Amino acid sequence: MNKLFIYLLLAMLLATVRADAASERKATLQVSAVVLPAARIEVQSSTAVTVRVTMYPNVSVSVWTDTDTCNAPNNPKTISTPGIYQLIFTSAEVQGRNIFCLVSSDGILNLAVQRP
């Protein structure tokens, strides 16, 4: 959602620059943005989740199922680039487990969501 806002803001600024460019010789636009690490798990079913994640370069995220606490990752699914991912777990991967866990390799992102 933050990226979308930044893109919309850039589009509006570029439209303004283009409109003013007819009356000016040169227009310069400098934009900088900082995207902080963030993650969200949306439960789709007892075996499927949607993961939205932004992270620093050279950082990966592990997602797995666990019992009551997210201790050590057990057969995790690994995400190595920011984006939106649809993850599906097998019935064996969720058997006897009641939470979805997510942790980043740098330790900044760490969350757990209850399975239905």
Are 63 and 115 in a shared domain?
yes
User: How many domains is the chain built from?
Assistant: 2
Per-residue pLDDT of the chain (116 residues; tens, 9 = 90+): 566 556 655 666 566 655 555 556 777 889 888 888 999 999 999 999 999 999 999 999 999 999 988 888 888 999 999 999 999 999 999 999 999 999 999 999 999 999 88
Are 47 and 19 in a shared domain?
no
Check: CB of residue 31 under 8 Å from CB of residue 102.
no
One-letter amino acid at 76 equals P
Are 103 and 89 in a shared domain?
yes
Task: Record the pTM.
Answer: 0.70
Are 22 and 73 in a shared domain?
no
Which residues, other chains included, contact 93 with Cβ-Cβ below 8 Å and sequence gap of 6+? 47, 64, 65, 75
